[in-house]
Structure 1
Amino acid sequence: MEQVRYGIIGIGNMGSSHALNLVDKIKGAQLTAICDTSPARLEWAQAHLPESVQKFDTPEAFFASQAMDAVLIAAPHYDHPVLAIQAFENGYHVIVEKPAGVYTKAVREMNEAASQSGKLFGIMYNQRTSPLYTKLRDLVHSGELGNIKRTNWIITNWYRSQSYYNSGGWRATWAGEGGGVLLNQDPHQLDLWQWTTGLMPKRVRAFCHFGKYRNIEVEDDVTAYVEYENGATGVFVTTVGEAPGTNRFELSGDNGKIVVEDDKITFWRLRVPEPQFNAEYTGGFGQPECWKCDIPVHGGHGPQHNGILQNFTNALLHGEKLIAPGEEGIRGLTISNAMHLSAWTDDWVDLPLDEDLFYDKLQEKIKNSTFRKETAGGKVLDVSGTH
């Protein structure tokens, strides 16, 4: 193909932004169709998008149209896997907004559908285009830091006021979003935590506070501790209720310490690796000589969403390697599911995750969700992927 025709399903905040970018900012791409069940969003599309863009008010008509080559899914969280599976079944390439879904059981089915389809599958992990995190990943994966001993990410600058949550009844509910700060604000950090280090936890112990700072039913404050197969440990702290917040990612390894903060990378580099120093040093008190190195990072915040869209387009047209393969979306979601499950059971959670147990616990939360009660008169609806 000479040009990739895109269709977007879900023209909310992110979907409308992607639509405008596809119209004139992505080389080799053309927006040819959109779909939304909201008349107001279809009116917006009519007013702001080219007349040639086809508009659909049902997913069925959208998928049946064959008006596009690739589908970008920007619908509510629960709908991501089911819509992606429908897109694959109808012969489309797929790129899905974050998070990959709400629970790994559905996301695993989505990944299997992608594999069977033979189509390209990507996820909107736009932070992977940031020069800050690509440089960090290079430092770790090239061996500069040595074996990782500890990771610590404090990401508390996700401040959200009560008025933010009051703006939509679906916000911060188990039935509407499927989670709070972990699922709405933190998917990028959970992905980067795994992607930059190359490590997945072997077990998780998390303490989630539900409605601690805001009048919501989901988690708004989390402190989690993880252990890795190589003996390393990690801590992840996040909340929406602190101001001013902090965004500091620290990694300690055999060769020193790397800190990512204020859009800078600082490497406290040991002249002699710590294990070697410890084995050879006989002077009692003392420690390895350390150099403070300011790591150069160029390119600002990177191309972000447009970078992912351009990369996906180039992958289809020219075979370029994907920055964010869709199948990798399950990794960060596994970590957040494990954190939720640990809090719900007040216990350690081992990975691989018990996906059936998580699903059952989630259904219990959904049954008592205020959003489900408000929208269904108290009746519990099926949110396994079709709501």
Structure 2
Amino acid sequence: MKKIRFGLIGIGAQGGAYAGFLTGKGGFPGMPAPECPPHCELGALCDIDPEKEKMCRENYPEYPFYTDWKEMVASGNVDAVITTVPHYLHPEIAIYCLEHGMNVLVEKPAGVFAKSVREMNECAAKHPETAFGIMFNQRTNKLYQKIKEIVASGEMGEIRRSNWIINSWWRPDSYYAQSEWRATWGGEGGGVLVNQAPHQLDLWQWICGIPSKVYAKCLYGCHRDIAVENDVTIVTEYPNGATGTFITCTHDPIGTDRLEIDLDGGKIVVDSSQTATVYRLKKDEKEMNETMSMMDVAKLTMGNASGADGMYTVETFENTDGWGVQHTTVMENFALHILEGTDLLAPGSDGINGVNLANATQLSSWLGKEVDNPVDEELYLSELNKKIAEEGKFPAR
């Protein structure tokens, strides 16, 4: 069986887990190790940290190790790379690889600022012979795939509003102290919007569409000694007049993960990314509004036979996939795309949508007003560089 040899650039927590996935030696700490994807294997590893090199040579002695990722790209030992490095480096590495005929699976987020991600996408478009994907592993969740299918089919009409509360990203101070670049403007480019929430920012737009207006309130260093945003409330408007809200933070140890989508013909609710409930109205809301008398409404609110039971049907779905299985599914899909032309679950070009929304959210918070989405790339970069200068730790971008 033909297999794609993956080169891992960056062997931190994520890259280390991927090395385990691709060799069958492990995965995320405390979680069962998934089976190695059948058309994937580890080809080589790369990191500039001597401690990471020592670990790799001890745990993966049969695989080449590099301290220069460009040498790995040119080595002939890999067919594709995965970029598990600080976010700012994703576009830089991807562009070089694409220009040198190397297939690239970019870790989320696609980058920090939209200008660099757009340039990466433009480069990929010039090199269609190379595969370009992004690790949006939560797109493999069968619940979200089913919901996207329902919404896209139009069977429940247009979306009227959507709300996502995703506070299950608790991070203590010890997390932010892991590295000097973590939770900094110059090193990471932001907080929860660029580190934890990109998965949901992608899914939200993948399912509900891309908003045209964004207003946001961000709190910086909320209950944590950091400079970047870790408590965010976003209000969006869409071209069809629909609205949406997105709430996330990293200081809630109990956490909530709940998505609600209101449509003309019903409602979809997802709890904890594990259970989805689809309520389909037997008559769409417009018809109900135009035909129901107050007596009908009274019966409805009192739960009589002619009320709720006769108003909608209920369908539920469950997801049982493990966390690591999602990542290996993306890897396998990427390998099959290279080998057989299978459609990508997450084309790399899709990564700009989440970056645009994160940029618009931060810019709205910085300026204190509603902004267009996508935002002016140069204006955003100018404001970001002001934050980097105030921090005084990293060069301007």
Give the alignment's TM-score, normalised by structure 2: 0.90
Change in 2 beyond 3 A, CA 1:42/1:144: same
- Give the alignment of 1:10-159 within 5 angstroms: 10-24=10-24, 25-51=36-62, 53-118=63-128, 119-159=130-170
SS of the equivalent of 2:212 reads strand
More off after superposition, 165-174 vs 208-217: 165-174
Match for residue 379 of structure 2 among 353, 357, 363 = 357
SS of the equivalent of 2:16 reads helix
Change in 2 beyond 3 A, CA 1:214/1:31: same
Instruction: Tell whether the 8 Å contact from 1:268 to 1:290 is kept in structure 2 after alignment.
Output: no
Match for residue 177 of structure 1 among 154, 170, 188 = 188
1:158 to partner: Cα distance: 1.0
Partner of 1:317: 339
**Unpaired segments of 5 or more residues in structure 2?**
25-35, 301-306
1:64 to partner: Cα distance: 2.6
The residue type equivalent to 2:159 in the other structure is I
**Unpaired segments of 5 or more residues in structure 1?**
373-379
Cα deviation per residue 1:77-117 (whole Å; 9 max; x = unaligned)?
01000000111111101001000000110000111111112
1: distance between equivalents of 2:319 and 2:163?
24
Partner of 2:395: 381
Partner of 1:295: 316
2: distance between equivalents of 1:362 and 1:292?
48
Give the alignment's TM-score, normalised by structure 1: 0.92
More off after superposition, 241-250 vs 139-148: 139-148
Instruction: Tell whether the 8 Å contact from 2:141 to 2:319 is kept in structure 1 after alignment.
Output: no
- Give the alignment of 1:211-226 within 5 angstroms: 211-226=221-236
The residue type equivalent to 2:178 in the other structure is S
1:185 to partner: Cα distance: 0.7
The residue type equivalent to 1:92 in the other structure is M
Instruction: Tell whether the 8 Å contact from 1:201 to 1:228 is kept in structure 2 after alignment.
Output: yes
Cα deviation per residue 1:104-158 (whole Å; 9 max; x = unaligned)?
1000011111111221100000001111211221221222332100000011121
1:166 to partner: Cα distance: 2.4
Q: Does 1:2 align with 2:2?
A: yes
Partner of 2:174: 163
SS of the equivalent of 1:214 reads coil
Instruction: Tell whether the 8 Å contact from 1:130 to 1:301 is kept in structure 2 after alignment.
Output: no
Cα deviation per residue 1:207-254 (whole Å; 9 max; x = unaligned)?
001112211000011111000001100001111112321111000010
Cα deviation per residue 1:143-201 (whole Å; 9 max; x = unaligned)?
2332100000011121111222223222111112110111111000000101122x100
Change in 2 beyond 3 A, CA 1:300/1:57: closer
Instruction: Tell whether the 8 Å contact from 2:7 to 2:44 is kept in structure 1 after alignment.
Output: yes
Partner of 1:279: 290
Partner of 2:360: 338
Instruction: Give the CA RMSD over aligned residues.
Output: 1.8
The residue type equivalent to 2:155 in the other structure is E
Partner of 2:30: none
SS of the equivalent of 2:245 reads strand
Cα deviation per residue 1:11-41 (whole Å; 9 max; x = unaligned)?
1111111122122402122322221111111
Match for residue 280 of structure 2 among 242, 263, 269 = 269
SS of the equivalent of 1:296 reads strand
Count of aligned positions: 373
2: distance between equivalents of 1:257 and 1:108?
35
The residue type equivalent to 1:129 in the other structure is T
Instruction: Tell whether the 8 Å contact from 1:103 to 1:337 is kept in structure 2 after alignment.
Output: yes
